């Protein structure tokens, strides 16, 4: 029987620094439905709850694009 060796260092995710550019990209991705909430939160380095609150603020100041 062969045991596989798993490198634990490769399993850890590198923390992402929250920058205005990352938040802007994530909000646009959520607004245009090209990104899911968990993916957007991970992209920004935020929790899902923080991303949700940020996106609600984004929605207040951006009108809908559908007709």
In-domain check, residue 38:
yes
pLDDT tens per residue across span 26-37: 999 999 999 999
| Nearest-angstrom CA–CA distance, 36 and 42 | 10
In-domain check, residue 33:
yes
Q: What would you report as the CA-atom Rg of the chain, rounded to the nearest whole angstrom?
A: 17
| Nearest-angstrom CA–CA distance, 3 and 27 | 44
Indicate the average pLDDT of the chain.
91
**pTM to 2 decimal places:** 0.79
- Residue (of 30, 62, 21, 61) closest to 38 by Cα position: 30
- Domain count of the chain? 1
In-domain check, residue 22:
yes
């Amino acid at each position: 029987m062969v045991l596989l060796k798993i490198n634990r260092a490769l399993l850890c995710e590198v923390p992402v620094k929250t920058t205005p550019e990352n938040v802007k990209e994530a909000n646009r991705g959520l607004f245009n439905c090209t990104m899911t909430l968990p993916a957007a939160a991970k992209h920004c380095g935020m929790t899902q709850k923080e991303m949700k609150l940020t996106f609600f603020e984004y929605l207040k100041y951006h009108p809908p694009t559908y007709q």
